[in-house]
Amino acid sequence: MYKSVPKDKTVYVYCDDGFRMSLAYQQLTHLGYQDVRLYNGGWSQWGNWLDLPTVTGDKPFAGDFEL
């Protein structure tokens, strides 16, 4: 499942309320990912702030939002 996620990059995980992102964190760190971070609050918090950006597509972090 995580084969396409590079191990040498920072990985941010999130979900709606926190349960699934904690499972993803455990899985990724167990697989050897060194820099895994959680978005505290999850999508339910982010989605309620109407002035925060949301992007979609093949390259979601392009332009102003590129990491």
Among residues 11, 15, 18, 43, the one annotated as catalytic is 15
**Which residues contact residue 40 at a Cβ distance below 8 angstroms, ignoring those fewer than 6 apart?**
18
Annotated catalytic residue 26? no
End-to-end CA separation in angstroms for the chain:
23
Alpha helix segments (H runs only) across the chain: 19-30, 42-48
List active site positions: 15
